[in-house]
Amino acid sequence: MVNRPAFLLAFGFPQESYIVSLILFVYFYINSLDVILRLGLNWFSRYQEWQADMYAVQQGYGEEL
């Protein structure tokens, strides 16, 4: 992305700049990973909640749930 002037022009930067290209690239890269991490953490949280509910049922608290 560093050597692509169209990338910078798409965001309104008329001049080539290594720093601006790097900042934009890192920003988009981190945001794309953020979605994957959130999905994984959401799944893990729901899995832990399910395990806690199953433990409560095993301990005899199923009716209260």
Asked if 51 and 59 count as a contact pair (C-beta separation under 8 A), the reply is no
- Tens of pLDDT, residue by residue over 12-22, are 888 888 888 88
pTM value is 0.56
| pLDDT confidence of residue 30 | 86
Per-residue model confidence (pLDDT) at position 43: 97
What percent of the chain shows pLDDT beyond 90? 35
pLDDT at 1: 67
Query: Distance between CA 12 and CA 4 in Å, rounded?
Result: 13
Instruction: Taking residues 35-60, report their average pLDDT.
Output: 94
- Give the pLDDT score at 9: 86
